[in-house]
Amino acid sequence: MGGGLAGIRAAIAAAETDPKLRVAMVSKVYPMRSHTVSAEGGCAAVLREPDSFDGHAFDTIKGSDYLADQDVVEVFVREAPLEVIQMEHWGCPWSREPDGRISVRPFGGMTTWRTCFAADKSGFHMLHTVFQTSLQFANIERLDEFFVTSLITEDGRCEGVIGFDMRSGEVRSLAARAVILATGGNGRIYAFTTNGAICTGDGMALAYRAGVPLKDMEFVQFHPTGMPSTGILITEAVRGEGGYLTNAEGERFLERYVPNKMELGPRDIISRAMVTEFEAGRGLKGEYGDYMNLDVRHLGSEVINRKLPFMRELMGEYMGIDIVTDPMPVRPVEHYMMGGIDTDASGRTPMPGLYAAGECANAGINGANRLGSNSLPECLVFGAAAGRAAVHDARGVKAPGSNPIAGLVKDETRRIEADFLGRSSGTERVGEIREDLQKMMDAQVGVFRTGDGLKTAVKELAELRDRFARLKLDDHSRTFNTELVTALELENMLDGAETIIESALARQESRGSHARRDFPDRNDEKYLAHTLAYHTRGAKPRLEYRPVRITQWQPQARSY
Amino acid sequence: MAAPSQELLRSNPLPADTIQLSVTRYDPAQDAAPRQQTYEIPYRDDMVVLDALNWIKTHMDGSVSYRWSCRMGICGSCGMNVNGTPRLGCSVFLRDYLPGPVLVEPLPNFPVIRDLVIDMTSFMEKLSSVKPWVISNGQEPALAAGEHRQTPAQVEQYRQFSMCINCMLCYAACPVIAIEPHFVGPAAIALARRYDLDSRDHAGQDRLRTVTGSDAIWDCSFIGECSAVCPKGVDPAKAIQQTKFESTLGMLLPWGGVSK
Ligand SMILES: Cc1cc2nc3c(=O)[nH]c(=O)nc-3n(C[C@H](O)[C@H](O)[C@H](O)COP(=O)(O)OP(=O)(O)OC[C@H]3O[C@@H](n4cnc5c(N)ncnc54)[C@H](O)[C@@H]3O)c2cc1C
Ligand code: SF4
Ligand code: FES
C-alpha cells in the first residue's frame, strides 16, 4: 500500500524474491505523484573511504538525541550503500564527479560528505527511476487512485485491505497473505508544512485503529528553511553548498547556538535558534510573520545553476526573487514525522501479516530527530527489507477465505454511505474543520511546547472531533469524489494529531525535536525510551514505554 | 520563467478585492454535457490558480473536483487549461489574468472523468510501452562492485529528457494527438530518448522501434507546441526530431545502433 519510494521499493523486492507471487501496488494517487517526488537534497550512504559505517551510525544516533535503536541503525548504514548502487544500476541520474563516480555533498548533522544527490531534485529522480523500473515486472499489478479505508484483520492477523476505486466509487477488498504499509507522513496535520496534500497519515491511522502501536509520535521535525508564503521547502543542500543564515542585523546568529557547525547544525537546534531570535526581536518582518535570510549570493551563478537550479526556479516563480542577487526569506516549517508504525529492522509490525516502511513506519533509526538525507535511504533499505520479509513469512500462510471479507465490504460500504455520502443533517464543512485543526497544531504543538499549550490542544481536538461528527459533504457523487477522500483523510489526521498531542504531553523532558519550555532538559533516567501509543475505544490513547536499545554508543550531552 | 520582481508587484496599482473563476463542471451521472460554473473569491497577489480552487473547495463548494498534491510544480498532478492554455494550476498566478474572469477547464485531448479530472489511462500505457528502464547487456557489475562510471558529460547527454514530470500538458497541446489519439506522444518519446541516450543502457534499436513502429510520429511536423507548453524545459519536440533522425539512420545503416 503506497506508490512512493518505500512502497515501490517493497513491491520490487517482493516481486524479485518470488516471481510467481502476485503483488498489488495500491496507491491513492498515481505513483509518480507520491510526495517522495518533492525531496530535493539527497540520500545519505557510506560510499567510499574515508567515510565509515561507524561514522554514519554515530552521526545518526547523536542526531536522534540517543533515542535511535542502535542495532537497527547499524543494519541501516550497512544496507544504504547497496541500495544507492542498486538505484544507480536502475538508471538514477545521480550527480557525478569528473571521474564518473557518484558525487556526495555535505548535509546537516553529518560529519563528512556522504549525501548523494541528483542536482536538487533527488526525490523526483529516485521516484521516477524506481517507478519506471517497476513497470518491467509483470507480477506487479497497480491499482492507481484506489483509496484504502481499512485493514482486514482476523484472529489478530492482517489479511488484506478494503478501500474504494476513486473513479467508480466502488468499495472492494483485496485479500492478501501480507500487507505492507508505505503510506508516507502526515505533515498536513499542520498548516505551515512542506508536505503535499496527500500526506495525511492514513496508514498510521489504519494500523493504529487495528491495534498496532504508533511509536514516538511526539517527535515532529521542523525544517529551518521554508518559503514563508507557501511552506515550499528550501533544501538543506543550500546550506550544505555554503549558504549563510542571517538575522535582521545581518548577523550569522548561529554563532551563538551551534558555533562549531554553524549552518550545518541539525534541524531541531537551528529551528529553535531561529524562533529564539524571532522572540528576541531579531527576525526580519514580513507579511507572513518573522523570517530570516538565507544567502547564497557569494556562491556565484555558476555553482547555483549547477547545484541548486530548482531553488532558483522556485524562488523566482513563487517569490519573484533571483537567488543569485538576493537572499531568500525563510522560516521554520513542519517537515517530517519521526514517529510512526512500530516495526523491527525487517519492517515487521507486532501484528502478523502487517509490515510497514518509509515515513509511515518507525523502525527506530530517527529517534527524536532525523538527520536530513537519512529518510530516502530509509525508504529504500526498509522498503526492500519489508518486501522480502513479507514474502518469506507469507510462504507458510494460507490465502484468506472470501466469506467474512464479503461481509466486511458490505459494512464498509454502509459506513461510507451513512457517515459521509448519505448524511444530510450535518452543518460542518470538512475543509474548515481541517483548516482549524492545522492552525491549532501550528499554535500549540510546534517548535516549542508547554504543558498548558498541550492541554489546550487536547481540549480543542475534542471540539474538532465533535464538529467532525456533524460533518456535511457538498458532494454526493460516486465518481471521483475528492471531498469524500478529504473527509476520510481528516478522520485519519484527527487520530494522528491525538497521538502526537498525548505523547508530547506525557514526555516531560526536552529531547531532539520535542522541546518542552516547562521541562527544558533531557532526562535519560526516565525517558531514554520509546513512547508507544495504543488505540483505545472512545478514550485517549494508552501509552507505554520501551527502553532504547544501545549497542556501543552511550548517551552523552548533545552539543555541536 | 521570468517572475515579476517584488517591487513590481508592490507598485501594481490593481489589487482587486475579488476575482472570478469560471470552472468546468461535469459529473457523468448527472450532466449530459460539461458546463461552466462561476465563483467569485477573495483575491491576493500571490495566489496561484490552484489556491483559488482550494479556496472554493474549502469555503464555497466542496464538490469541485481536480487533482493536486505538491503545490510546487514537481508532482505533475495539476495540469489544466487556463484561459485556453495548458498550465500547471500550482504554477500559474491569478495576477497574470487580471481582472479576470479566469477560465479553468480540463486538459483537452483526454476523456474527462469528472470536472477537471481527466482519464490518463492511455497516457500511462504509452509511458510503459517505450520500456522506460535500463536494458542491460547481461554484464551488469554486481552491486558490491559499485557504480557504473558515468561522467558529468555523459549525464548531460540525457539529463534534459529525464526532467519530465508526466504532467501531460504536451499531450493537451499536441495537434497530432488531437487527430490520432494512439500517437505515443511527446513525453513518452522524450522518455525513450532519456534511456536511449544513457550510457548504462543497451537497448540498441529495440526501444527506438517501439516508438517509430506506428506511423503517427511521421505526422508530427515540428510545430513544437509540446515544447512551448512544457513547464520543465524537457523539449520533447527535440526528442521527436532526434528519434526520426536515428530511425532514418537505422534504415540506412544495417547495423543501426543508437548514437550516444
Ligand atoms: C519537501 C520535502 C523534501 C525532502 N527532502 C528530503 C531529502 O532531501 N532527503 C531525504 O532523505 N528525505 C527528504 N524528505 C523526506 C522524504 O522525502 C520522505 O520521508 C519520503 O520520501 C517518504 O516516502 P514514502 O514512500 O514513505 O511516502 P510517500 O512518497 O509520501 O508515498 C506515500 C504513498 O502512499 C499512498 N497512500 C497514502 N495513503 C493511502 C491510502 N489511504 N490509500 C492508498 N494509498 C495511500 C500514496 O498514494 C503514496 O503513493 C523530504 C520531504 C519533503 C516533504
Ligand atoms: S514533456 Fe513537459 S509537458 Fe510533457 S509531460 Fe513531460 S513535463 Fe509535462
Ligand atoms: S500540485 Fe504538484 S505539480 Fe501542481
Query: A197-237, pLDDT tens digit by residue?
Result: 999 999 999 999 999 999 999 999 999 999 998 999 999 88
Please report, for the domain that includes residue A487, its CATH number. Answer: 1.20.58.100
Give the model's pLDDT for residue B12. Answer: 43
Q: How far apart are CA B86 and CA A352, in angstroms?
A: 48
Residue B105 touches partner A, C-beta closer than 8 Å: no
Conformation bin of residue B250: beta by default, left when phi > 0, alpha when psi is -120 to 50 = alpha
Residue A558 lies in a domain: no
Give the model's pLDDT for residue B258. Answer: 58
Q: How far apart are CA A282 and CA A167, in angstroms?
A: 51
Q: How far apart are CA A418 and CA A424, in angstroms?
A: 10
ipTM of the complex: 0.95
Beta carbon of B120 within 6 Å of any ligand 2 atom: no
Domain boundary among A306, A329, A352: A329
Q: How far is the CA of A429 from the centre of ligand 3 (A)?
A: 24
Q: How confident is the model at residue A550 (pLDDT cuts 50, 70, 90)?
A: very high
Of A30, A98, A432, nearest to B151 by CB-CB distance is: A98
Give the model's pLDDT for residue A425. Answer: 87
What is each CA distance from B56 to A429, B43, B63, B65, in whole angstroms? Answer: 12, 12, 9, 11
Give me the residue label for grid cell 515544447. Answer: B227
Measure CA of the first residue to CA of the last residue in chain B; give whole Å. 30
Give the model's pLDDT for residue A496. Answer: 98
Q: How far apart are CA A145 and CA A311, in angstroms?
A: 30
Give the model's pLDDT for residue B214. Answer: 74
**Which of A343, A307, A339 lies closest to A324 in space, CA to CA?**
A307
Q: Name the minimum distance, in Å, from the CA of A294 to any CA of chain B.
A: 17
Residue A87 lies in a domain: no
For residue range A18-27, list pLDDT tens digits in order.
Answer: 999 999 999 9
Beta carbon of B234 within 6 Å of any ligand 2 atom: yes
Give the model's pLDDT for residue A210. Answer: 97
Domain boundary among A297, A329, A361: A329
Q: How far apart are CA B19 and CA B51, in angstroms?
A: 12
What is the pairing mode between strands B18-25 and A542-547? unpaired
Give the model's pLDDT for residue A557. Answer: 92
Q: What angle is formed at CA B132 by the lines to CA B116 and CA A385, rounded to 5 degrees?
A: 95
Of B9, B67, B163, nearest to A320 by CB-CB distance is: B9
Beta carbon of B162 within 6 Å of any ligand 2 atom: no
For residue range A293-339, list pLDDT tens digits in order.
Answer: 999 999 999 999 998 998 999 999 899 999 999 999 999 999 999 99
Q: How far is the CA of B46 from the centre of ligand 2 (A)?
A: 25
Boundaries of domain holding A318: 225-329
Domain count, chain A: 2
Torsion, Cα B46 B48 B50 B55, to 10 degrees, reads 40
Residue A426 touches partner B, C-beta closer than 8 Å: no
- Yes or no: say if A105 and A241 are a contact pair by the CB < 8 Å rule: yes
pLDDT beyond 80 at A28:
yes
Please report, for the domain that includes residue A323, its CATH number. Answer: 3.90.700.10
> If you count residue pairs, one on A and one on B, with CB atoms under 8 Å apart, how many are there?
177
Q: How far apart are CA A514 and CA A67, in angstroms?
A: 12
Give the model's pLDDT for residue A402. Answer: 73
Q: How far apart are CA A505 and CA A256, in angstroms?
A: 29
- Yes or no: say if B171 and B177 are a contact pair by the CB < 8 Å rule: yes
**Which of B169, B81, B71 lies closest to B123 in space, CA to CA?**
B169
Say yes or no: A419 and A320 in one domain. Answer: no
φ/ψ of B220, rounded to 5, equals -70, 125
Residue % of chain A over a pLDDT of 90: 94
Residue B144 touches partner A, C-beta closer than 8 Å: yes
Q: How far is the CA of B230 from the centre of ligand 3 (A)?
A: 14
Residue A356 lies in a domain: no
Give the model's pLDDT for residue A538. Answer: 84
What is each CA distance from A212 to A7, A203, A337, A348, A473, in whole angstroms? Answer: 19, 11, 17, 11, 30
Q: Name the minimum distance, in Å, from the CA of B118 to any CA of chain A.
A: 10
Q: Name the minimum distance, in Å, from the CA of A325 to any CA of chain B.
A: 12
Give me the residue label for grid cell 542526531. Answer: A63
**Which of B216, B206, B204, B205 lies closest to B240 in space, CA to CA?**
B216
Give me the residue label for grid cell 504536451. Answer: B170
Q: Diameter of chain A by CA atoms?
A: 70
Q: How far apart are CA A272 and CA A280, in angstroms?
A: 12
| Mean pLDDT along residues A247-259 | 96
Q: How confident is the model at residue A270 (pLDDT cuts 50, 70, 90)?
A: very high
Say yes or no: A418 and A517 in one domain. Answer: yes
φ/ψ of B200, rounded to 5, equals -85, -10
- Tell me which chain B residues have a C-beta less than 8 angstroms from the C-beta of A33: 67, 69-70, 75-77
Give me the residue label for grid cell 512544457. Answer: B230
- Tell me which chain B residues have a C-beta less than 8 angstroms from the C-beta of A102: 147
φ/ψ of B177, rounded to 5, equals -55, -40
Q: Specify the higher pLDDT residue, B7 or A159.
A: A159
Q: Name the minimum distance, in Å, from the CA of B182 to any CA of chain A.
A: 20
User: In whole angstroms, what separates CA B138 from the centre of its chain?
Assistant: 33
DSSP lists the bridge partners of residue B24 as: B36
Judged by CB atoms closer than 8 Å, whether chains meet at B162 and A98 is answered as no
* E strands present in A120-273: 140-144, 146-154, 157-165, 171-175, 179-181, 214-215, 220-226, 244-246
Ordered mean pLDDT values, 10 residues apiece, chain B (260 residues):
39 67 96 97 94 97 97 97 98 94 98 98 97 91 91 97 98 95 95 97 91 82 91 96 87 59
Of A29, A98, A479, nearest to B27 by CB-CB distance is: A479
User: In whole angstroms, what separates CA A240 from the centre of its chain?
Assistant: 21
For residue range A362-406, list pLDDT tens digits in order.
Answer: 999 999 999 999 999 999 999 999 999 999 999 989 888 777 889
3-state helix, strand, coil in chain B (%, to 5): 40, 15, 45
Q: In the structure, which protein residues have their CB atom closer than 6 angstroms to any atom of ligand 1?
A: A 1-7, 26-29, 31, 34-36, 38-43, 122-123, 147-148, 163, 182-185, 194-195, 198-199, 202-203, 233, 336, 358-360, 372-376, 379
What is each CA distance from A66 to A53, A69, A182, A346, B105, in whole angstroms? Answer: 17, 8, 25, 21, 53
Residue nearest to atom 8 of ligand 2 (CA): B167
Residue type, B22: S
Residue A71 lies in a domain: no
A142 flagged as catalytic: no
- Tell me which chain A residues have a C-beta less than 8 angstroms from the C-beta of B127: 132, 135
- Tell me which chain A residues have a C-beta less than 8 angstroms from the C-beta of B191: 132
Q: How far apart are CA A280 and CA A276, in angstroms?
A: 6
Of A35, A144, A475, nearest to B70 by CB-CB distance is: A35
**pTM score of the predicted model:** 0.96
Which residue from A12, A33, A35 has its CB within 8 A of the most atoms of ligand 1, so it is best to mutate? Answer: A35
Give the active site residue among A114, A128, A223, A312: A223
Give the number of other Cβ atoms within 10 Å of residue A102's Cβ.
26
**Which of A237, A39, A118, A94 lies closest to B146 in space, CA to CA?**
A94
Beta carbon of B186 within 6 Å of any ligand 2 atom: yes
Residue A478 lies in a domain: yes
Residue A521 touches partner B, C-beta closer than 8 Å: no
For residue range A31-76, list pLDDT tens digits in order.
Answer: 999 999 999 999 999 999 899 999 999 999 999 999 999 999 999 9
Judged by CB atoms closer than 8 Å, whether chains meet at B127 and A135 is answered as yes
**Which of A21, A26, A33, A29 lies closest to A7 in space, CA to CA?**
A26
Note which residues in 160-199 of chain B have CB less than 8 A from chain A: 162-163, 165-166, 191, 195, 198
**Which of B197, B201, B187 lies closest to B240 in space, CA to CA?**
B187
Peptide bond into B99 cis (omega under 30): yes
Give the active site residue among A114, A239, A467, A514: A239
The residue among A96, A321, A429 with the most chain B CBs within 10 A of its CB, best to mutate, is A96
Residue A184 lies in a domain: no
Conformation bin of residue A2: beta by default, left when phi > 0, alpha when psi is -120 to 50 = left
Residue A125 lies in a domain: no
Give me the residue label for grid cell 516481486. Answer: A15
Peptide bond into A332 cis (omega under 30): no
- Yes or no: say if A386 and A357 are a contact pair by the CB < 8 Å rule: yes
| Mean pLDDT along residues A459-482 | 97
- Tell me which chain A residues have a C-beta less than 8 angstroms from the C-beta of B133: 90-91, 132-133, 135-136
Note which residues in 29-88 of chain A have CB less than 8 A from chain B: 29-30, 32-35, 37-38, 82, 85-86, 88
Of A100, A197, A486, nearest to B151 by CB-CB distance is: A100
Residue A437 touches partner B, C-beta closer than 8 Å: no
Residue A195 touches partner B, C-beta closer than 8 Å: no
- Yes or no: say if A464 and A437 are a contact pair by the CB < 8 Å rule: yes
Beta carbon of B48 within 6 Å of any ligand 3 atom: no
Of A125, A430, A431, nearest to B162 by CB-CB distance is: A125
- Yes or no: say if A509 and A529 are a contact pair by the CB < 8 Å rule: no
Give the model's pLDDT for residue B210. Answer: 87
φ/ψ of A179, rounded to 5, equals -125, 130
What's the grid cell of residue A289? Answer: 510573520
Residue B156 touches partner A, C-beta closer than 8 Å: no
Q: Domains plus CATH for chain B?
A: 6-118 (3.10.20.30), 121-134+150-252 (1.10.1060.10)
Beta carbon of B90 within 6 Å of any ligand 3 atom: yes
Give the model's pLDDT for residue A559. Answer: 87
Domain boundary among A329, A357, A390: A329
Residue A503 lies in a domain: yes
A478 flagged as catalytic: no
